[in-house]
Amino acid sequence: MRKIATLSLLVAAAAFAAFAASTGYHVVKEIKIGGEGGWDYPEMDSAARRLYLSHATHVVVVDPDAGKVVADIPDTPGVHGIQTVPSLNRGFISNGRGNNVTIFDLKTMKTISQVPTGENPDSIRYEPKTGRIFTFNGRSNNSTAIDAKTGMVVGTIPMGGKPEFSQADDRGHVFVNIEDTSEVVDIDAAKPAVAKRYSIKPCDGPSGLAMDIKNRRLFSVCGNRLMAISDPDAGKVIATPAIGAGPDGVVFDASNGYVMSSNGGDGTMTIVKENAGKWEVLENVATARGARTIALDSKTHNVYLPTAVPGPPPTAGQRRGTFLPDSFKVIVVGK
């Protein structure tokens, strides 16, 4: 009887594992964008049904349901990130080569003004309690705080290293990965100043960052193929599940508890979830090489990953491979 019971348990466990390993996520379609140049972070406005894509010197605005480009915001040299604030009818764009932020109207898509920042503003984040926009400036290793209503700079915050992606909570704080020191910095948005910092090693080179605001968990994706899951209040890492190569983005879907990292190095999307207190990898979904950043649609629960078709492999002296002309597109992953 013991052998039969043990065998039954093993079969049941195997069946559960097989079920848990399949999330149903797969590439459902592609949206052709075209044009030349690189890309960085996408931004999804789920309520307005607009997907914003950074694309070298401009921002492409896409209707994801119709699968077509509906607008274009020019003069954003070296654009990295876009942050929409529907309550103000404003959007904010970090221009890495312009060392400034473009403020635009969400209805007309027309530029309202440009605000100077530190050098090479990368990630950009709105903090709702203070009504401030924060840019994280990769070359000057600081953050610029801007009043979102007036467009006036209200402070500059030293980061003590190269800041990467950021997230805001519901308590007046903004968190940011520090790539070269493998830390998370916690900013008190009202001061504005650094409240604390903590190590997320063994993570090396954290880039993308997502947050479960309700349960107070941060998800940092790392260059050494780990996801560092940390408790920002305690200032400590609680899990480090394995992910794919070359990640630069991660999202958290509160509806199902999935944490999804976009791994451009090997063309996968790793899905992680907490199960009985343990963080487990559910699946590695095939996407495309180069699809390293990601945005979540909270309405459909699809995710959007910009990329382009790879060209010839890099030659000696080239840092990165090339992409075929006019092949920029968005991969849509869903069920």
Q: Tell me the per-residue pLDDT of 87-138, one tens digit each, with 9 for 90 and over.
A: 999 999 999 999 999 999 999 999 999 999 999 999 999 999 999 999 999 9
Mapping DSSP onto H, E and C, the string for 230-277 reads EECCCCEEEECCECCCCEEEEEEECCCCEEEEEECCCCEEEEEEEECC
CA gap 56, 159 in Å, rounded: 26
Indicate if the pLDDT at residue 17 is higher than 80.
no
Instruction: Write down the number of H helices and E strands in the chain.
Output: 1, 28
CA atoms within 13 A on the CB side of 226: 16
The CATH code belonging to domain 75-199 is 2.130.10.10
Q: So what's the pLDDT on residue 20?
A: 45
Omega within 30 of 0 (cis) for the link into 74: no
- Please report which helix (H) or strand (E) contains residue 303, including its range: strand 303-307
Kindly report the length of the chain: 335
Backbone angles phi, psi at 154, to 5 degrees: -110, -5
Average pLDDT in the 288-313 region? 95
Written as one string, the DSSP assignment of 79-122 is EEEEEEEGGGTEEEEEETTTTEEEEEETTT--EEEEEE-SSSEE
Residue with tokens 């459909």: 300
Domain boundaries, the chain: 28-51+205-335, 75-199
Q: Are 293 and 39 in contact (CB under 8 A)?
A: yes
Global pTM? 0.92
Residue 248 forms beta bridges with which residues?
none
Mean residue pLDDT across the chain: 93
Do 75-199 and 28-51+205-335 fall under one CATH topology? Answer: yes
pLDDT for res 129? 98
pLDDT digits (tens, 9 = 90+) for 133-169: 999 999 999 999 999 999 999 999 999 999 999 999 9
Read off the DSSP letter of residue 69.
E
- pLDDT score recorded for residue 1: 39
User: Average of pLDDT values for 290-304?
Assistant: 98
pLDDT at 319: 63
Six-digit token string for 88 = 């103000």
Q: What is the pLDDT of residue 302?
A: 98
* DSSP 3-state of 280: strand
SS3 letters across 175-224: EEEECCCCEEEEEECCCCEEEEEEECCCCCCEEEEEEECCCCEEEEEECC
Architecture of domain 28-51+205-335: 7 Propeller (2.130)
Pair 53, 306: CB distance under 8 Å: yes
Query: What's the order of all strands across the beta sheet hosting 100-105?
Result: 79-85, 90-95, 100-105, 111-116
